[in-house]
Amino acid sequence: MFAFLKKPQKKDARDVGQLIFDIAEHQRDADFHLLYQRMSGREVFVGIDRTSLPASIEAGAPYTTQASDRLRMQSVSIPHHGAWSSAAILASHPSLAGAHVGMQWLDFLKMTQRLPELRGAVLQGKASWVAFDKERIAYVLAKSGA
């Protein structure tokens, strides 16, 4: 009835890197949910063990993976918490100094879920990172309908 009295809500102007930083610092549920929304349909970059790539690939040359490829993803170790998959939001992230592939965020999470040796996934921003255990990954995938 009195719509003119309501203040319009400001759009959250933070980019994904800032959201990752804020989650790492404050662990707010609202920030997690905004991150899930912003990551939907987004590409992430995953480090690959160079020796698992076909020998014919030249360093720095783009390559489209084939169904027969068996790439080994690099993982990170979190002290006292085991091995975790790792993806960066920027292809220029220092952790990707070797070979890397781009893949959809939700596909990265699905792949992490299928690997029993991994405890979860780490998403690396510009200056911070946030970890998603497999329970949280299942929640994100369910919320996305994946």
pLDDT of residue 14 exceeding 60: yes
Q: Which residues of 39-55 are buried (b: 16+ CB within 10 A; e: fewer)?
A: beeeebbbbbeeeebee
pLDDT of residue 61 exceeding 80: no
What distance in Å separates the CA atoms of residue 107 and residue 8, rounded to the nearest whole number? 36
| CB-based contact 38:19 (threshold 8 Å) | yes
Digit-coded pLDDT (tens) for 83-107: 999 999 999 999 898 789 999 999 9
Instruction: Give the three-state DSSP class for 54.
Output: coil
Domain 15-51+71-144 classified CATH 1.10.3470? no
Residues 64/70/76/79 CA torsion (nearest 10 deg): 160
